[in-house]
Amino acid sequence: MSKDIIEKVYRSGMSGARINTAYGNTSQYKWIIESVREIGEIPIIIDIKGPEIRIKAKKRMLHEGEVFEAGFSDQEVSFNWDFYDKITLGDRIIIDNGKISTKVVEKNNRILHLKVMSSGEIADGKGVNVPNTQLSVPTLSKRDKEIIQFARKFDIEYIALSFTRNAQDVANVRSEAYDFKGAIISKIENSEGINNFGEILEFSDAIMVARGDLGVEIEPERVPLVQKSIIKSCNQKGIPVIIAPEMLESMMQQPMPTRAEVSDVANAILDGTDATMLSGETAVGKYPLKSVKMMSRVAREAEKATRSHIEEEGFINISDAMSKAVQRLCLSMPIDKVVTLTRSGYTARMIARFKIVQPIIAVTPEERVKKQLELVFGVYPVTIKYQEQKDHILHVANTLHSMNLIRDKDTVLFTAAFRTLKKHASNLIEVHNVEELRNYDSKRK
């Protein structure tokens, strides 16, 4: 993808750029990072392979009924991790998100004999799934660790861990990236990740439902309900959630999606997802620009009907309580916009989970936080250095007015942390007519 196309994609609605490190090299990643950052202030997601298995093979067709050999070192077809001792006769080995299905019919001398159950083209680097088998693959490979250091060097906003199995996997990434200032996305794409989702959620900054591998690891008919459940849990805690991939898969080859794909995108948004992700459609597809435009159109339409699915629960912290108060005020009085002054982005996320109809302008002094909030539903993030000002709200109001983000006639609800240094402690709500607020400021001077 050229820089010109990247810019056109950004103008069409791209709010984040993901780099899949299963392919390419750091020179290519560096070019993408520099190109995206030159074009717009959006987050970059570095996707590390994590405890995944990939195949090493020359591209060729495998035909149903064919038996081929696969090993774990220098064979013509081999796997990047040795799971020979964990596999038994009759186990299924799935390649390339289910495009090729095989069954183990023989094993000897550390070679697996695999019978092809469904034809397809095998190619180097394609993902491998062994459903219902725990393979004890390390969380991070040597290359993953190198990519994490690369992400630290370039101050990347998100690291996404593929095949997250438990909280320890997330902790391993945090330990390796000990001074990484960005956020960690846990990708849920296997049965272990589903079974341990509660603990994974507690340790993650964001969640991605990676349905390509998930639909291979578990029964396909379970995926929609698992997706709904994960979205609901993330919304409840104000944790951003992303749904991917294969959302507009047919647009890799044709200029229009199927009606089922459009419904899939819309339903994910109606369920409460913060972001939807294109993968092959924009990475290798024929119509990257049309794909982004279509995704944006569907999202804008679905967002009009999206409502909160949050259930009442006990007190969590001050920002949580304030976000509930903001929602009630937005329902009970004519508020045009919500402006939240946030250092970490937490209060903005807690308000956004209620899917209020009013735009949420998240004002933060941190450029990194601003970029991270680009992925949160209903939030328009802005960077303003307000900390040194005597009256934060007046300064922010005047600045937003000069940026044409709020108008004199608007009634705006402001939230902020006042006289506190604690995290998650937004403790102030003010409601103002913008013109009156600005007049008050000018008369005071």
Mean pLDDT of 40-53: 93
Lowest mean pLDDT among 292-301, 380-389, 405-414: 380-389
Whether 335 and 422 map to the same domain: the answer is: yes
Q: Which of 245, 268, 303 is the last residue of a domain?
A: 303
Whether pLDDT at 152 is above 90: yes
DSSP bridge partners of 122: 60
Instruction: Note whether 67 and 105 are within 8 A (CB).
Output: yes
Tokens describing residue 188: 């849920």
Any idea what the Cα angle at residue 171 is, between residues 165 and 173, rounded to 5°?
90
pLDDT classification of 282: cutoffs 50, 70, 90 = very high
The Cα–Cα gap between 89 and 87 comes to 7
In our burial notation (b when 16+ CB lie closer than 10 A, e otherwise), range 253-262 reads: eeeebeeebb
**Environment class of 169 (CB within 10 Å of its CB; exposed 0-12, middle 13-18, buried 19+):** buried
The Cα–Cα gap between 294 and 317 comes to 39
Whether pLDDT at 442 is above 70: no
Tell whether 312 is covered by a domain: no
Mean pLDDT of 28-57: 94
Q: Which residue has the tokens 């088998």?
A: 133
Total residue count of the chain as it appears in this document: 445
Instruction: Render pLDDT for 393-402 as a digit per residue (tens, 0 to 9).
Output: 999 999 999 9
Instruction: Note whether 98 and 58 are within 8 A (CB).
Output: no
Say what the pTM is: 0.91
Q: Which domain holds residue 169?
A: 3-50+138-303
Give the residue among 261, 255, 315 at the shortest CA–CA distance from 286.
255
Angle, in degrees to the nearest 10, between helices 434-444 and 392-402: 120
Whether 41 and 74 map to the same domain: the answer is: no
Whether 258 and 199 map to the same domain: the answer is: yes
- State phi, psi for 122 to the nearest 5 degrees: -90, 145
pLDDT classification of 444: cutoffs 50, 70, 90 = low
The Cα–Cα gap between 214 and 136 comes to 18
Instruction: Note whether 188 and 209 are within 8 A (CB).
Output: yes
Phi-psi region of 96 (alpha: psi -120 to 50; beta: other; left: phi over 0): left
DSSP state of 71: B
More confident residue, 340 or 80: 340
Whether 25 and 112 map to the same domain: the answer is: no
Whether pLDDT at 361 is above 70: yes
Whether 289 and 191 map to the same domain: the answer is: yes
Dihedral Cα 256, 259, 261, 262, nearest 10 deg: 90
Whether pLDDT at 159 is above 80: yes
pLDDT classification of 389: cutoffs 50, 70, 90 = confident
Q: Which of 107, 129, 151 is the last residue of a domain?
A: 129
Give the residue among 183, 187, 286 at the shortest CA–CA distance from 244.
187
CATH number at residue 40: 3.20.20.60
Whether 26 and 165 map to the same domain: the answer is: yes
CATH number at residue 429: 3.40.1380.20
Q: Which of 106, 129, 152 is the last residue of a domain?
A: 129
The Cα–Cα gap between 168 and 139 comes to 9
The Cα–Cα gap between 129 and 269 comes to 28
The Cα–Cα gap between 302 and 263 comes to 10
Whether 299 and 158 map to the same domain: the answer is: yes
Whether 247 and 270 map to the same domain: the answer is: yes
Return the pLDDT at 445. 58
Any idea what the Cα angle at residue 119 is, between residues 113 and 123, rounded to 5°?
75
Mean pLDDT of 390-414: 95
Instruction: Render pLDDT for 119-132 as a digit per residue (tens, 0 to 9).
Output: 999 999 888 988 88
Whether 386 and 407 map to the same domain: the answer is: yes
Whether 109 and 197 map to the same domain: the answer is: no
Name the residue type at position 342.
T
Instruction: Note whether 365 and 388 are within 8 A (CB).
Output: no
Mean pLDDT of 50-61: 90
Instruction: Note whether 377 and 308 are within 8 A (CB).
Output: no
CATH number at residue 120: 2.40.33.10
Mean pLDDT of the chain: 93
Mean pLDDT of 168-192: 94
Q: Render 177-215 in DSSP notation, one character per residue.
A: TTT--SEEEEEE-SHHHHHTHHHHHHH-SEEEEEHHHHH
Return the pLDDT at 441. 61
